[in-house]
Amino acid sequence: MKNRLAARILPYLFEKFFAKYSEYLESQLISYKLVQEQKWRHASANT
């Protein structure tokens, strides 16, 4: 009984967690890219 319940719940939890985590990673990546772009702009402006 317990195993059947776990088999039903775990994929659902994993899916939820993965969706949140990938969302988080995506926002981190976007902010990282923006920072890199700003640094690059500053560097090109200084020369």
Question: Taking the model in full, what pTM does it have?
Answer: 0.54
Q: Which residues of 2-24 are buried (b: 16+ CB within 10 A; e: fewer)?
A: eeeeeeeeeeeeeeeeeeeeeee
Structural domain harbouring 38 = 22-47
Which pLDDT belongs to residue 31?
Answer: 95
Q: Which residues in the chain land under pLDDT 50?
A: none
Phi, psi dihedral angles at 19 (to 5 degrees): -60, -45
Q: Which residues of 28-42 are buried (b: 16+ CB within 10 A; e: fewer)?
A: eeeeeeeeeeeeeee
9 within domain boundaries: no
37 within domain boundaries: yes
16 within domain boundaries: no
35 within domain boundaries: yes
State how many domains the chain has: 1
Which pLDDT belongs to residue 11?
Answer: 93
DSSP state of 1: -
32 within domain boundaries: yes
Which pLDDT belongs to residue 29?
Answer: 96
